Amino acid sequence: MRFDPSDYELIAPGNLQAVVSLLAEEPRQWLPIAGGTDVMVQFVAGKLASRKLVSIWNLPELRDIEVLPTEIRIGAGCTYTELREHIVIAREFPLLASAARWTGGIANQNRGTLGGNIVNASPAADSLPALLAYEAELVLVSIRGERRVPYLDFHTGYKTMQLQGDELVRSICLRRNFAGHLQYTRKVGARNAQAISKVCIAALGRLRGGTIEGGTIEDVRIALGSVAPIPIRLKEVERLLRGKLIGPELVAQTRQMVAAAIQPIDDIRSTAKYRSAVASNLVAEFLEQLRDNGNAA
């Protein structure tokens, strides 16, 4: 099916207030478009259902990265290039910086935005497991004001989310309290960049007392992508691990729990069996690194 540009309407109000006013007047009639890296694929294929598009690209209200004493607030319109080049993100949130490097090529990183990745809601998105591991909060904005939503609860099913028809994601908030955590991330795919992941993981861990010998797990967060209809946190696995010494029996039990907790599928990129094995291996590798290396310096 070929696309016809004349079938579509695109406007660019130029400021956030004008955009949310438009969304309030006609909820779910206008599709916000930022970098367009996902929307344009659908458009060229003739599969873009929305016919009315409103540009939010380069809105100044969505492009700031604000570093506060207790948290960092990332504007939803910030690009992957801005994320991977930001010194605080690189130092304190390396899971997110790595995801930004893995997302597409340089051209996509210059255009693609973190907010777009969130609302596109692909279960294979590189940045979303990192946001789950960091327990991000989203600031949603509408003409009615702003509200905060834990990212952990944002996706309610495949391509569905807690976003009202008149709302935009304004910013993503990450608490600056991960000093001392071991931070681990891997992407398994045909290659690291310019390929959709078969499985990806973002995990954080800290041992009690910061010592290797006899150190039990004090804090742990494990998130996976490409293994379920939405990116997921392994909350049951985390509960099993807290307060435990990392040894062969615990690692073996964890492997079994990971395989039971995920819902991988067969598709053009991989098989469910492969994804299940890789996800279990990655979680086991994370635990072994935490055991062997202790906490981050």
Over residues 249-259, the pLDDT tens digits come to: 999 999 999 99
In this prediction, residue 112 carries a pLDDT of 95
- Looking only at the bridges linking them, the beta strands covering 145-150 and 137-142 are antiparallel
Rounded Cα distance, 264 and 234, in Å = 14
In this prediction, residue 227 carries a pLDDT of 96
Given a contact cutoff of 8 angstroms between Cβ atoms, the answer to whether 258 and 280 are in contact is yes
Given a contact cutoff of 8 angstroms between Cβ atoms, the answer to whether 197 and 226 are in contact is yes
Cα maximum dimension of the chain: 67
In this prediction, residue 169 carries a pLDDT of 98
Q: Which helix (H) or strand (E) holds 288?
A: helix 272-293
In this prediction, residue 1 carries a pLDDT of 52
Unique residue bearing structure tokens 């694929």:
41
What is the dihedral angle through the alpha carbons of 138, 143, 144, 150, rounded to the nearest 10 degrees? Answer: -10
Q: What is this structure's pTM?
A: 0.94
In this prediction, residue 44 carries a pLDDT of 82
Edge-to-edge strand list for the sheet holding 217-225: 182-188, 199-207, 217-225, 232-233
If you ran DSSP here, which 8-state letter would residue 73 be given? Answer: E
Burial classification of residue 292, based on how many CB atoms lie within 10 Å of its CB (0-12 exposed, 13-18 middle, 19 or more buried): exposed
In this prediction, residue 290 carries a pLDDT of 96
Residues (pLDDT < 70) of the chain are 1-3, 190-195, 209-214, 295-297
Beta strands in 37-190 (DSSP E): 52-55, 65-67, 71-75, 137-142, 145-150, 155-157, 160-161, 168-175, 182-188
Q: What are phi and psi of 209, to 5 degrees?
A: 85, -10
Q: In whole angstroms, how far apart are CA 20 and each of 59, 122, 237? A: 12, 24, 40
Given a contact cutoff of 8 angstroms between Cβ atoms, the answer to whether 171 and 139 are in contact is yes
